[in-house]
Structure 1
Amino acid sequence: MARHPEYQYLDLIEHVLAKGDRRVDRTGVGTLSTFGAMMRFDLSDGRFPVYTTKRVFWKTAVKEMLWFLTGQTNIQSLLRENVRIWTDWPLDKYRRATGSDVSQEEFEAKILGDDDFAKAWGDLGPVYGKQWRRWVDAEGKEHDQIASVIQTLRTNPASRRMLFHAWNVGELDQMALSPCHMTYQFYVSGLGAEGSKSNPKLSLLVGQRSCDLGLGNPFNIAQEAALVHMVAQQVDMEPGELVWVGGDTHLYLNHMDLARELLSREPRPFPKLRLLRKPTSIDGYTIDDFEVTGYDPHPPIEAPVAV
């Protein structure tokens, strides 16, 4: 019997716990870190790699991916979807700038209720979505990297240039957080010798410079898998494989209990994903289009976010 693919994640956690390099990091929390990691997940037949050793709130992860795809950079639209994972950074900035001890709930309520306040304090700078959909070159021309990739998948699926990325050196200092998952490269297998489509399968390799194993990676894997399913549907292909590559791959020192609890649990079968409709473009998906069945994870584990 094949080994459960989630053991790739658990083995990585175990390796970091045993051999990780202890480091002082940007947040001041400290990490155990390793450099260079890879995981591969089969996405065929609707497979959806949502980890099971703790509950992953996959809807929140997919909503974040859908937000990236809109090109938006303000947390107001995320909060309208009840997604709070980006609030920490603008909240911290607001508190530092004003000396206020406003609670997260109060801050989010002001973002939702006051468009001017949201414009002033809710924007994250030119983060992922801006670079993916509206990268501005030296001449001021905007480039929609997502649309370009989808067009190439339709017209030249054997291309080695089907990628998009977010590491815009000239705008890094304007971002609330520099991009962690940076490069996304697509690959189509099942093409004939002349490039004809016999049974094309779409795979994706994601390069991530910095990976928070405890909280970030479970979200990233789920949302990146969802992206493959969406793009594959748009270009009339089947999902193939998600290949994830990590640079500085780490556990925060305040996530040690989380890590040990994960290692004590046995993975359960991954769920299946079905897209309920095919929108006219990649821009048309909503969370209601995702039907996930068979997800039976272990209970969630609470752990703090390092800002």
Structure 2
Amino acid sequence: MTNQVDETYLTLGRQILTNGVQKGDRTGTGTISTFGCQLRFDLQKEGFPIMTTKRVAFKLIASELLWFLKGDTNIRYLLQNNNHIWDEWGFKIWVESDEYTGPDMTDFGLRCQTDADFNRLYQEQMKIYQDNVLQDDAFAKKFGDLGNVYGKQWRKWQGADGQEYDQIQYIIDEIKRNPDSRRLLVSAWSASEMASQALPPCHYAFQFYVVDGKLSCMFNMRSVDYFLGLAFNITSYALLTYLIAHECGLAVGELVFTGADVHIYANHIEQVKEQLSRTPKKLPTLQLNKEKSSIFDFELADITLLGYEPHPTIKAPVAV
């Protein structure tokens, strides 16, 4: 059986390379961009949706999702779980502050790629930053917190009435109470809080749909890094759908991705071509701890991916 998860994803990559337009971006890296894309994945067929044409770090995806679900916005939890995918954003807050006294880290994301001497300095400063977040409570509070990012919006949305609203708990309660609701929607986009976010949400909203005892999810993204981001996001929202379905006593249905500016960074083109040259493999299966009834009680040990044997990792720099 053909692996439709990889095939669907790779088809989009070919379309961007063929039909995309060159476009500037906030990071200064440059992109090949296209606007308005949709992908669909049947969660009941084949296996769990994670790329097999390159290794995707599932434990990083799972720990980040659990971080969101905890309502946490401080990267200390991620570092404790050896997850470094948000380090650069916290590091940027530190090196741009008045308290930073080390070497100049201006444009560190781009300079690391072309200057080996600078990269060594950057790695030294990053290690100092990580150690301080892990060991110094005051430092972690000031420079480890990324502001009102996903976890805060999902679990502690600030209402106009001054009250906090737990959007995830609402979704779970409403699915159990009224599965035909068309209001099973979570938003992470708060115009009034953008200035307090290290990175405004890329995946800014998602909505659930229940029919025939199956839970489907559509997630929406304003900006999509095709090579590093999208593969990660597909697996993350698939896992979220499985977790919500688990608590609500439902089977999984379909996962739908809708993206606005979907782009390949200029320094990811060769990596994309390498992935496109590979043949998809068999998808793995997901196993959740059935003894846990609430998704808020899940830890990494409760989430297992079985039979994941992908092609090797393809490394690429993160645009910050």
Give the structure-2-normalised TM-score: 0.90
1:46 Cα deviation after fit: 8.2
- Give the match for residue 84 of structure 1: 84
Identity of aligned residues (%): 44
1:17-96 superposed matches below 5 A: 17-44=17-44, 47-96=47-96
For 1:20 and 1:163, the matched residues in 2 are separated by 31
1:164-175 superposed matches below 5 A: 164-175=186-197
Give structure 2 stretches of 5+ with no counterpart: 104-123
Q: Tell me, what secondary structure is at the counterpart of 1:60?
A: helix
1:219 Cα deviation after fit: 1.0
For 1:167 and 1:276, the matched residues in 2 are separated by 32
Whether 1:216 and 2:239 are equivalent positions in the alignment is no
2:262 to 216, 238, 249: 249
Conservation of the 8 A alpha-carbon contact between 2:53 and 2:281: yes
Q: Tell me, what secondary structure is at the counterpart of 1:304?
A: coil
- Give the match for residue 133 of structure 1: 155
Please list every run of at least 4 consecutive aligned residues from structure 1 whose deviation after the TM superposition is greater than 4 angstroms. Answer: none
- Give the match for residue 298 of structure 1: 311
For 1:46 and 1:162, the matched residues in 2 are separated by 27
Give structure 1 stretches of 5+ with no counterpart: 191-199
- The change in CA–CA distance for 1:70 and 1:106 in structure 2 (over 3 A counts) is same
After superposition, the C-alpha distances for 1:176-226 in whole angstroms (9 at most, x for unaligned) are 000000111000111xxxxxxxxx000000011111011111111111111
For 1:128 and 1:299, the matched residues in 2 are separated by 30
For 2:47 and 2:211, the matched residues in 1 are separated by 18
Conservation of the 8 A alpha-carbon contact between 1:89 and 1:176: yes
Give the structure-1-normalised TM-score: 0.94
The AA in structure 2 aligned to 1:47 is G
Conservation of the 8 A alpha-carbon contact between 2:217 and 2:256: yes
- Give the match for residue 258 of structure 1: 271
1:99 Cα deviation after fit: 4.6
Q: Tell me, what secondary structure is at the counterpart of 2:4?
A: coil
Conservation of the 8 A alpha-carbon contact between 1:233 and 1:278: no
1:104 Cα deviation after fit: 1.4
1:280 Cα deviation after fit: 3.5
Cα RMSD after superposing both structures: 1.3
Whether 1:160 and 2:173 are equivalent positions in the alignment is no
Q: Tell me, what secondary structure is at the counterpart of 2:254?
A: strand
Q: Tell me, what secondary structure is at the counterpart of 1:44?
A: coil
After superposition, the C-alpha distances for 1:206-264 in whole angstroms (9 at most, x for unaligned) are 01111101111111111111101110010000011111111100010000111110111
For 1:50 and 1:164, the matched residues in 2 are separated by 23
Q: What is the number of residues matched between the two proteins? A: 298
Conservation of the 8 A alpha-carbon contact between 1:46 and 1:274: no
Conservation of the 8 A alpha-carbon contact between 2:3 and 2:280: no
Whether 1:142 and 2:183 are equivalent positions in the alignment is no
- Give the match for residue 246 of structure 2: 233
Q: Tell me, what secondary structure is at the counterpart of 2:5?
A: coil
For 1:279 and 1:135, the matched residues in 2 are separated by 26
For 1:178 and 1:108, the matched residues in 2 are separated by 22
1:275 to 261, 277, 288: 288
Conservation of the 8 A alpha-carbon contact between 1:94 and 1:100: no
The AA in structure 1 aligned to 2:73 is T
After superposition, the C-alpha distances for 1:32-73 in whole angstroms (9 at most, x for unaligned) are 100111111121278310101110001101110110000010
Conservation of the 8 A alpha-carbon contact between 1:234 and 1:278: no
After superposition, the C-alpha distances for 1:258-279 in whole angstroms (9 at most, x for unaligned) are 1110111011111110112242
1:96 Cα deviation after fit: 2.3
Q: Tell me, what secondary structure is at the counterpart of 2:227?
A: coil
The AA in structure 2 aligned to 1:100 is G
- Give the match for residue 196 of structure 1: none
The AA in structure 2 aligned to 1:266 is T
For 1:8 and 1:46, the matched residues in 2 are separated by 14
- The change in CA–CA distance for 1:295 and 1:173 in structure 2 (over 3 A counts) is same
1:92 Cα deviation after fit: 1.7
1:123 to 132, 138, 145: 145
- The change in CA–CA distance for 1:3 and 1:268 in structure 2 (over 3 A counts) is closer
1:108 Cα deviation after fit: 0.3
1:22 Cα deviation after fit: 0.6
Q: Tell me, what secondary structure is at the counterpart of 1:214?
A: helix
- Give the match for residue 194 of structure 1: none
